[in-house]
Chain A
């Protein structure tokens, strides 16, 4: 595909339910990132993958949040026992090289999660 694809674009779930959010990065991009964004705030870093492994998961807010990237391409962000405070836009990005310094990241359109 031409860009980073995220599905679904919108997700409404009930408090306490489990959700999965999917990210298809640009083909060949080894680095993949998850962010979440609340209204009026900048994107908040959650986790970064280099290949199949999570290189930095320091932004995950608690153990209800988990992400995988088993084959080094598609990634899934999993949220257990959702809470109303988890409502936000979840953004995925990818880059050709490891992040930082001289690398450009490409973002998807995001998944808007609403927990009711």
Chain B
């Protein structure tokens, strides 16, 4: 299975941008890059996903390297509510469920 590597933890201050990195050097041409996050005591929630081009939505932006071996989830202005575990996941092929790693625990300070 395609593997992703994320830092165990990161810290940010409120109102500042946050860049969460993910390495996926074994990504194949058809793998989508998904990001989910999990707030304390809740189920994971979808954040964003992309294939090759950078993506923006109301929650975040996803910057994908040109060689696709890494990506960065960007939270433009962190809030206390963004403190969560962020998971970067590759979807290998249609019909295969998302496989989660340990993710990055983001702490946000006021």
Residues of A within 8 A of B44 (CB): 43, 91, 93, 107
Q: Mark contacts of A87-112 with chain B using CB atoms, 8 A cut-off: 1 yes-contact digit, 0 otherwise.
A: 00001010000111111111111100
B interface residue numbers (CB < 8 A to A): 30, 32, 36, 42-46, 49, 51, 85, 87, 91-103
Question: How many A residues touch the partner, as a band?
Answer: 20 to 34
Q: Mark contacts of A24-63 with chain B using CB atoms, 8 A cut-off: 1 yes-contact digit, 0 otherwise.
A: 0000000001010000011111001010000110010000
Tell me the nearest residue of chain A to B101, going by C-beta.
A42
B22 CB to nearest A CB, Å = 13
Number of A-B contacts (CB under 8 A): 70
Most buried by B among A41, A42, A103: A42
B43 CB to nearest A CB, Å = 3
How long is the Cα–Cα vector from A109 to B85 in the complex, in angstroms?
A: 15
